[in-house]
Amino acid sequence: MRSNQPVWQEDSGAWHVFRHDDVKRVLSDHESFSSQRGTTDDPSNPISASLISSDPPRHRQLRTLVSQAFTPRAIDDLAGRIEQIAADLLDALPQGDIEIDIVERLTTPLPVIVIAELLGVPSSERARFKEWSDATISGSRQLDAGEELTFSDAQREMVKYFSKMIAGRVEAPKDDLISGLVDAKVDGESLSQIDILGFCILLLVAGNETTTNLLSNALYTLHERPALWDELAEDKGLIPPFIEEVLRFRSPVQHMYRTSKHEVQLSGVTIPAGSHLVAWIGSANRDEKVYEGAEKFQIHRPARNIAFGHGIHYCLGAPLARLEAKIALEALLARYASVQIPSLADCKPVPTRLVYGFQTMPTR
């Protein structure tokens, strides 16, 4: 598609964009492409009013506010705790040559627990939190189908829970992200409770399944290339560039949506105002014009990948996702001589085109 039909219109009318330079432009040119979906003032649907679905100037205000409570330094401070969570999850695995589903036992719970702790959800609520998190995954399926997000019963329960928690933090702040969000101010303005709620839910939608898939994709890649396991175990400095190449080669988020604000030209194709666009990050990350031998997995590439997006909506959780992946891989490399997938046929891919990864991955 990149060479023959770099901009292609499907029957439903949506325009699909495949080339690296076009994808970057669609993601970052907010004068021409809007991120808004649905109504921005519907209080029953906080995500439609959240950061990822907003345009400037509201986006800049929201981003500045949430960035205050979500700095790379604050994320680095979490390293010790993430190491402990990863160690606990690995300690709980059965000993010996026994098959387990690594998605169920490690790659799913790790990001869920990290986000729960970041938000200040007590561990007694962990089971409910996981249920809500699963319900939000159906939310990403809705996004995939180009629909507006609607709420299930579990999500309604989650909204109630977070609303109560936010009100509680207004009364009595604690040392957690929600209290930080309650406190954050730009030009004397704070976030409204509905903004904070939208942000909490966005973290679940944007931060859990994506990180799970980065980790599962990394393990799949290591299964395909057993020699790499030993190389990484010997030289831990290779782990960050390995993660970058996994992000490029198997991008967990395959595409993002935008709507054109006026008529635009992309690769010589005219796209009318008000068109829906699908910007294919997964394709851009395999563009031969940018990545030499793009179909080969090769760590240490000069060009950066765009797995976390580009421009003002660049992933706020990128430092956290990278840190979690690094810590989980370090822990696995330190404990095991290899992680093997006995039957690739038993690895079930996530059934959506939005997210690239695995629902189950039996390993030993």
Alpha-carbon gap, residue 126 to 117, rounded angstroms: 9
Q: Please say whether the beta carbons of 19 and 287 come within 8 A.
A: yes
The closest of 148, 145, 70 to 114, measured between CA atoms, is 70
Classify residue 293 by its DSSP letter.
Answer: T
Task: Answer positive or negative: Cα dihedral of 320, 156, 61, 265.
Answer: positive
Count of residues in the chain: 364
- Specify whether the CB–CB gap between 357 and 350 falls below 8 A: yes
Site map 134..163 versus ligand HEM, x via CB under 6 A: ------------------------------
Residue 298 exposure: Cα atoms within 13 Å on the Cβ side? 12
Site for ligand HEM in 79-118 (CB under 6 A): 115
Tell me the closest approach of the beta carbon of residue 192 to ligand HEM, in angstroms.
Answer: 17
How far, in Å, CA of 263 to CA of 273, rounded?
Answer: 4
Q: Which is nearer to ligand HEM, 133 or 155 (CB)?
A: 133
Q: Is position 211 an interface residue for ligand HEM (rule: CB under 6 A)?
A: yes
Q: Six-digit token pair at 313? A: 């909506």
What does the per-residue mask of binding to ligand HEM show for 35-64, with x meaning CB under 6 A?
x---------------xx----------x-
Does position 30 interact with ligand HEM (CB under 6 A)? The reply is: no
Instruction: Check binding of 256 to ligand HEM (CB under 6 A).
Output: yes
Q: Is 203 in the site for ligand HEM (CB under 6 A)?
A: yes
Minimum distance of ligand HEM from residue 307's CB (angstroms): 5
- 284 touching ligand HEM, by CB under 6 A: no
Burial of 304 (0-12, 13-18, 19+ CB in 10 A): middle
Binding range to ligand HEM, per CB under 6 A, among 123-131, 137-145, 149-157, 198-206: 198-206
Which residues sit at the interface with ligand HEM, rule CB under 6 A? 27, 35, 51-52, 63, 115, 202-203, 206-207, 210-211, 214, 252-253, 256, 281, 307-309, 313, 315-317, 320-321
